Amino acid sequence: MKPLLKWAGGKARLAPQIADAFQGPCEGTFFEPFVGSAAVYLHLRSRGLVKKAVLSDANDKLVEVHRVVRDDVEGLFAALDDLPQDDWRDRYYEVRETFNQGPCKGAAHAARFLWLNRAGFNGLYRENRKGIYNVPIGSYARLSIPKADHFRIVSELLQDAEIICGDFLEVIDAAREDDHVYCDPPYVPLTKTACFTGYHSSPFGFEEQRALALMARKAAFRGARVVLSNHDLPVVRNELYPADSGFRYVAKPRVARAISRNAASRKKVAEVIAAIGPFGEQEVA
């Protein structure tokens, strides 16, 4: 099941490998504290691998979109009809300005978010320190908005999910025995100059990476199974998710990055899918 949102670093293509890392269906609650486009949840839910879920993100504007898709999909259609269609390129920055003025609630907000996501550069979501969305227009031949049936299917899949705006530490802290947790945080940068912290007005640095790894271990000790994605770097393998702390590496995909303006520079980079817990059972080497 494809998500409605285009999302830089989204996991639609890797969702089957992430599902395999959980080694079976979730018998408890599925937690996703960095929900993004919800690609992993939609994959799992559409295959009956998840029933009860808590989907969360620090970006309240994004969280509101998922809530509207779940609760008011017909109102969302009506709001999308009010936005530019044929003259979308001429009016992109007008819509962006209206989006930044708010309010960030309801169907009108969700429609603008989705419209900008489809019209903006490469599915990128970026805010400055003041929380202002500043992504430039994309270079597309036409504006592509998902069909109504696609919206309705995603809305149905979200019906049993609790959708909240929250801190990832608090969300993971709720995980217990038989629960599953999937974490797709902002990645550790490949180089010192490649750091991207503009997804939200509050940056996600290495201290947050350490806190996430610690919370994953604590959840595993409580009986949860936790799967995490990140760049395949020595600091990730040796410091954040070391094998001697119980982490194991279940996949090492190579994924094309589509953020660069220069198509020739969009090379494939190595990622890791790591898993930990539940402790107390025989682990797979």
The helix/strand/coil state of 228 is strand
Which pLDDT band, with edges at 50, 70 and 90, does 280 fall under? Answer: low
Which one-letter amino acid corresponds to residue 262?
N
**What is the average pLDDT value for the chain, to the nearest integer?**
91
pLDDT at 255: 72
Cα 107 from Cα 20, distance rounded (Å):
35
Cα 214 from Cα 220, distance rounded (Å):
10
pLDDT at 200: 53
Angle at 34 between CA 235 and CA 78, to 5 degrees: 150
Asked if residue 54 lies in contact with residue 31, where contact means CB atoms within 8 angstroms, the answer is yes
pLDDT at 191: 74
Q: Residue 20: is its pLDDT beyond 80?
A: yes
Higher pLDDT, 280 or 272: 272
What are the residues whose beta carbons fall under 8 Å from the beta carbon of 197, sequence distance 6 or more? 186, 203, 204, 205
Which pLDDT band, with edges at 50, 70 and 90, does 67 fall under? Answer: very high
Tell me the HSE value of 17 on the side-chain side, using a 13 A CA sphere. 17
Q: For residue range 223-270, list pLDDT tens digits in order.
A: 999 999 999 999 999 999 999 999 999 888 877 655 445 555 557 789
Closest CA to 208 of 40, 63, 66, 34: 34
Rounded percentage of the chain residues whose pLDDT exceeds 70 = 90
Domain spans of the chain? 15-276
What are the residues whose beta carbons fall under 8 Å from the beta carbon of 60, sequence distance 6 or more? 104, 165
What's the CATH fold of domain 15-276? Answer: Rossmann fold (3.40.50)
- State the pairing for strand pair 180-183/29-32: parallel
